[in-house]
Structure 1
Amino acid sequence: MAIPQIDGLSQLADRYDAILCDVWGVLIDGRSHFPVAAEALEKFRARGGKVALVTNASRPSEEVRRQLDGLGLPRAAYDDLVSAGQLTLEQMVARDGEACHHLGPPRDNGLFEAADRLLGGKFRRVPLEDADYVVCTGLIDERRETPDDYARTLERMRERGLPMLCANPDIVVGIAGELVYCAGALAERYAALGGEVVMAGKPYLPIYAAALGRIAALAGEAPARVLAIGDGVATDLLGASRAGLDSLFLTEGVHRDELYPPPDRRLDVAAMGALLAGAGVKPVAFAPFLVW
């Protein structure tokens, strides 16, 4: 059975009580927000639906919320937010007493500052040679580097048997139309070397349990009908499938180049089918973008 294309979320809204919505590539591009996407979620909420944003961002949830404020995303578009960074933070706190090395850019320092606050100033952040574990939040210079630049670092980690907490399972993400590597790409390489990787975020179940728990707390009961919205097949759609949720696939996101090949840039339906089949997922519908 072919997957239907819809004109907008309004065609599905009556079927669901709650939405779990991806952020990067769906609501923002890293530089600005998408007004029509925000409007779609606002209209869903105006009908009584609940919306939780579920993002693989490697920063704590409150820090992501402030970032979205800065990009102009209205808070009226969502009820709550859960980030992979928040789940990573909880894992870091649970490792109280162990020394941590940060593999990633300085902009993610807030994650470690939050851990230090929660541990009463006892959080230990150390060089790689002194670490008990590594928290990977991404490439240090994502615009210029690739995972190949980290081959020796990953080998040193593997030699020491250091577990990696991956704060963002995404392999790539679109920023202002450009695809850049994320922490998930380094985690993938480390796992291939035989290293231990602990993932936070999509497509793994804990982030869905956290998001659904937030919605249940807001609504007073667990939502029976939930739609996951996203543009990543290996994260958003696979995670929704694992969690037993319906999904809406947005094709003009991270998979745009493979689904809309040159020269005409029209949707290649066969390529979409192969992409979805390869991941073993079947969304209830697809649309280019999130609109009402």
Structure 2
Amino acid sequence: MTQLIESLSEISGRYNALFVDLWGCVHNGVTAYPDAVAALQQYRTQTGGKVILVTNSPRPRAQVAEQLVQFSVPADAYDDIASSGDSARAAMFEGVVGNKVWHIGTPTEAPFFEPLKLLDNPAPIERVTLEAAEGIVCTGPEDPTADPSVYRPQFLLAKQKGLKLLCANPDIVVDRGDHREWCAGALAQLYTEMGGESLYFGKPHPPIYDLARRRLRKIADVADDSILCIGDGIHTDIQGGIGEGLDTLFITGGLAAEEFGSDPAKPDKARLDTWLSDQRLSPTAAISFLR
């Protein structure tokens, strides 16, 4: 049975490291949640615990760090970052979808294609038209407010060509402030439903957890049973953590807040238990907001 808690400090003493989701947990895509920042700072300073931010952002680690400054998330709230973007970039430069790729995304996501120094012999990647492509790289829809179905004509051609789609962000939707936006995961889901093959490198899939563990090992030797995964995505953060054999803390006031009553700060325990049963997932604990 999932334990409903009021603050991270109730259980944080059991863990030497946290894998923490960003969007919907530490910030809302516009600004930081002060209580979440304070909770992470307290965890690091009072217990000496390590915090790895594990995000499905398609951005490289350095670009995520720059964005956190813009959102007023201070550097002393975390130790390192593992992004879906870095995990997917490594796969792209290993040539998993070919050398000539059709990119679906915005101009701000261009750093995804910058050379990756971690690999000894990265594959040369060239962005081309769909007609000339050997594969697809999706960092997100060009218009995050448009229904993903607008890509059906292009995906039909891509499927006929047998192209694989590399998804740099498995999230289906995120809330940017008060507005919900589509993510790369929605496009990858559509492509799969149409019969295409999509490759995932963020939560809940293993590659990003391997990256997070490697980032953690650089600063501390922490066993899996001392790691807690925190996030508001039941089928990304929580399913991924459970799949890795890690304990999980579900943020109820995020993407699924409406499922647990009219007040996001006070989730109804009975409704939470019923909903989690329907999802066939059982987080170690749940909390309204990270604090």
Q: TM-score, normalised by structure 1?
A: 0.92
Give the Cα–Cα distance (whole angstroms) in 1 for the partners of residues 25 and 208 of structure 2. 18
Give the Cα–Cα distance (whole angstroms) in 1 for the partners of residues 147 and 213 of structure 2. 35
Aligned to 1:176: 177
Aligned residue-pair number: 288
Alignment-mate amino acid for residue 248 of structure 1: L
Offset at 1:290?
Answer: 0.4
Would the aligned equivalents of 2:267 and 2:288 in 1 still touch at CA under 8 Å? no
Alignment-mate amino acid for residue 242 of structure 1: G
Percent identity of paired positions between Structure 1 and Structure 2: 38
SS at match of 2:4: coil
1:227 aligns with 2:219: no
1:14 aligns with 2:13: yes
1:138 aligns with 2:140: yes
Give the Cα–Cα distance (whole angstroms) in 1 for the partners of residues 266 and 70 of structure 2. 33
> Mapping of 1:49-68 within 5 angstroms?
49-68=49-68
SS at match of 2:31: coil
> Mapping of 1:84-233 within 5 angstroms?
84-95=84-95, 98-114=99-115, 122-143=124-145, 145-220=146-221, 222=223, 224-233=225-234
Give the Cα–Cα distance (whole angstroms) in 2 for the partners of residues 197 and 83 of structure 1. 18
Give the Cα–Cα distance (whole angstroms) in 2 for the partners of residues 123 and 53 of structure 1. 28
Aligned to 2:280: 280
1:79 aligns with 2:82: no
Q: TM-score, normalised by structure 2?
A: 0.92
Would the aligned equivalents of 1:21 and 1:52 in 2 still touch at CA under 8 Å? yes
Would the aligned equivalents of 1:215 and 1:222 in 2 still touch at CA under 8 Å? no
Give the Cα–Cα distance (whole angstroms) in 2 for the partners of residues 14 and 267 of structure 1. 24
Gaps of 5+ in 2: none
Give the Cα–Cα distance (whole angstroms) in 2 for the partners of residues 226 and 13 of structure 1. 10
Alignment-mate amino acid for residue 3 of structure 2: P
SS at match of 1:218: coil
Alpha carbons of structure 1 residues 66 and 188: separation in structure 2 relative to 1, 3 Å: same
Aligned to 1:29: 28
Alpha carbons of structure 1 residues 115 and 170: separation in structure 2 relative to 1, 3 Å: same
Offset at 1:214?
Answer: 1.5
Would the aligned equivalents of 1:212 and 1:222 in 2 still touch at CA under 8 Å? no
Would the aligned equivalents of 1:92 and 1:115 in 2 still touch at CA under 8 Å? no
Alignment-mate amino acid for residue 282 of structure 1: S
Alpha carbons of structure 1 residues 274 and 179: separation in structure 2 relative to 1, 3 Å: farther
